[in-house]
A and B are shown apart, each in its own frame.
Chain A
Amino acid sequence: MSSFIVRGAAPLGGEPTDLLLADGRIVEIGPGLSAAGAHVVDAAGLIALPGLVDLHTHLREPGREDAETVESGTRAAALGGFTAVHAMANTSPVADTAGVVEQVWRMGQEYGHADVRPVGAVTVGLAGEWLAELGAMADCPAAVRVFSDDGKCVSDAVLMRRALEYVKAFDGVIAQHAQEPRLTEGAQMNEGEMSALLGLGGWPAVAEEAIIARDCLLAAHVGSRLHVCHVSTAGSVDLIRWAKAKGWDVTAEVTPHHLVLTDDLVRSYDPIYKVNPPLRTHSDVEALRAGLADGTIDAVATDHAPHADEDKDCEWAAAAMGMLGLQTALAVVQQVMVDTGLLDWAGVADRMSIRPARIGRVDGHGRSIAVDQPANLTLYDPSAPWVVDGDQLASRSRNTPYRGRELPGAVYATFLRGRPTVLDGKIA
């Protein structure tokens, strides 16, 4: 197997050094390394991070291969610096059986751009009526540990309680899409001044917060792990802070877009900004950044949601919800968290690799950059501004809200078990 010397990289933004990668592991760290036959990667000026882990990716396969496939989605992941992604269950058929999750997992293995960890549905067909065979999905080769009906909320309190209790048997976690269904009937955007002005159905913050509050109490009651998907409101951050202060095993994620975009953008009625949960207000964005900075929010998760053109190039009400995220996530986090002084690179590694891997129980990822650790690495250039060209992204879809915007930094290389999946900003 090839070995690599990464020369002059700065682990977590610290002092530059060399890394020798061989046999899938980091075998040596120090200045002036040399090794016979090793490929040398000039990493001067680059920051080395443990390979990023996404807790929330939609790969669309099986069922909507026109929007994304495991192959195209994991290529986008690798280009974004990710070495492992969790593939959400709302495919067609739904990933609610061992057969489907194993199929997705095997495709990830085959293409090899990133490790794919399928997320199993909590309920059969995401219908919120019967528990899916959670144990079978946990026991199959895909070894599912994260279960979610994402896109739909497990709104039945009894079902949610049972799911939380049941997954304790195999150290699973329920990742809840917190959306009280009755309070969000007909919802199109954040409820507030802008929805009133635009005449679009409002999605009130309390519809997210009420479910989070309930689920924290349920998780505490049964002593299980709860993970809250894509929190979007200041009130949600407060609730998670409260649950953590109680010592409960509650974790949460925030998307890059909820850290930077606000509901003011909906004024354009451009469905590129239609997402669930919706873009919120400036004060919510501030609270989310603060929550991520102080660790209340554990992880940045992309909620990468590719959609075919016809599902976005239409009127707002008819448009699908979601936006791309894998290839822009790290640069957005740099812009809003690092360049603003809210988080250092060690913090980025913690929120985008270490904690997500721990929450998802992803072996071999999210480790420190140290000798004998798996060589899953991201080399990132924080001084490589680029203008996002939606047509040049690796995804099969083009629904990026950052089209034409300048982002401050770019992924230079991604290593998966010592093998480059991306080198010089391109698929290796």
Chain B
Amino acid sequence: MKRHLLSAADLTRDDAVAILDTAAELARLADRPIKKLPTLRGRTVVNLFYEDSTRTRTSFELAAKRLSADVINFAAKGSSVSKGESLKDTALTLEAMGADAVVVRHFASGAPHRLATAGWIRGSVINAGDGTHEHPTQALLDAYTMRDRLGGIEGRRVSIVGDILHSRVARSNVLLLHTLGAEVTLVAPPTLLPVGVGSWPCAVSYDLDAELPKSDVVMMLRVQRERMNAAFFPSAREYSRRYGLHSERMATLPEHAIVMHPGPMNRGMEITAPVADSVRSTIVEQVSNGLSVRMAVLYLLLSGSEPAIGRDDETEGA
């Protein structure tokens, strides 16, 4: 694997499979009374969050702690950043503190890329979501969930529905799922599809009802209500009618198909409560799988080729 995880495009098929396999191995830890490995003891992981995200930050924090790394949470709010400190100066500070990995969530697309390539720090950079660009660990946990539920990803048909234009989750999923051999269709009103989407390795549809019967996975994306003000669609009601997933629509899915959502959800907007809470929904599993996947990413980036678990749990990793 490369030194950083900035984009799902950074991952070869072998890389992605190695992460998913390692995550599966690490998931076994959850069943143990002591849910901790010494693998990253002495390593420092910094969670650098310029954007609020309790879910992702907590997931990374717990993942690092379960591998015994020292974890520093650095939130922009109330920190030197709110006093006007630049990303460069923050990075130099983290470098001086000896950060081995920086997990960065940023409102600006490309900020993790800049952090990794500008020569400000030497540690690994993990993109935990940047602007409307990418969220590669979300795509990895989604792939993990699909593989777990469906037994494999190759040849599966995945429909990603909603605000593709502003979705970092969709971008990362398209790239990763294509690498893993799935057939992805993006489903959205034309206003919520990027202009250059024609060159992406996926199909595009404006018609959710036409896609559902042939989908093994339907992934609903959160629609922000403020998009209405910018005329991306006429009203919440119309959006829900055309692109919302409700029980009747869910019934047109094949029997084995699953419903995913990266959260947080707008219940009643893109997904109704009965769908979100149904047995087909993997929404809660996605959260717990996220922990295993992020452990795997941290482990593989920071610790290399040593076995993650299983040889001797009490032996320190490299």
Residues of A at under 8 Å CB distance from B?
188, 191-202, 204, 268-270, 310, 313-318
Contact = CB atoms under 8 A, between A and B. Distances in A.
Contacts of A188: 109
A196 B117 contact: no
A316 B194 contact: no
A198 B133 contact: yes
A191, A194, A198, A313 — most chain B CB neighbours (10 Å): A198
B241 interface: no
A263 to B, nearest CB: 10
B296 to A, nearest CB: 25
Contacts of A318: 86-87, 108
B264 interface: no
Contacts of A268: 113, 117
Contacts of A204: 195
A183 B172 CA distance: 26
Contact of B113 (A269, A310, A314): A269
A315 B195 contact: no
Contact of B109 (A198, A270, A313): A198
Interface residues of B, number: 28
A312 B84 CA distance: 15
Given A198-B110, A199-B168, A269-B114, A314 B196 contact: no
Nearest to A310: B86
B90 to A, nearest CB: 11
A269 B195 contact: no
A317 B130 CA distance: 11
A362 to B, nearest CB: 40
B132 interface: yes
A199 B86 contact: no
Contact of B196 (A192, A201, A269, A315): A192
A194 B196 CA distance: 7
13 contacts: A188-B109, A193-B199, A197-B171, A199-B133, A202-B194, A269-B114, A269-B117, A313-B86, A315-B115, A316-B109, A316-B111, A316-B114, A317-B109
Interface in B78-106: 86-88, 106
Contacts of B195: 191-192, 195-196, 202, 204
B109 A200 contact: yes
Contacts of B198: 193
Contact of A315 (B111, B134, B194, B197): B111
A269 B110 contact: yes
Interface in B169-204: 171, 194-200
Contact of B88 (A194, A199, A313): A313
Given A195-B194, A269-B113, A314 B86 contact: yes
A192 B109 CA distance: 16
B118 interface: yes
B131 interface: yes
Contacts of A196: 194-197, 199-200
Contact of A314 (B87, B117, B199): B87
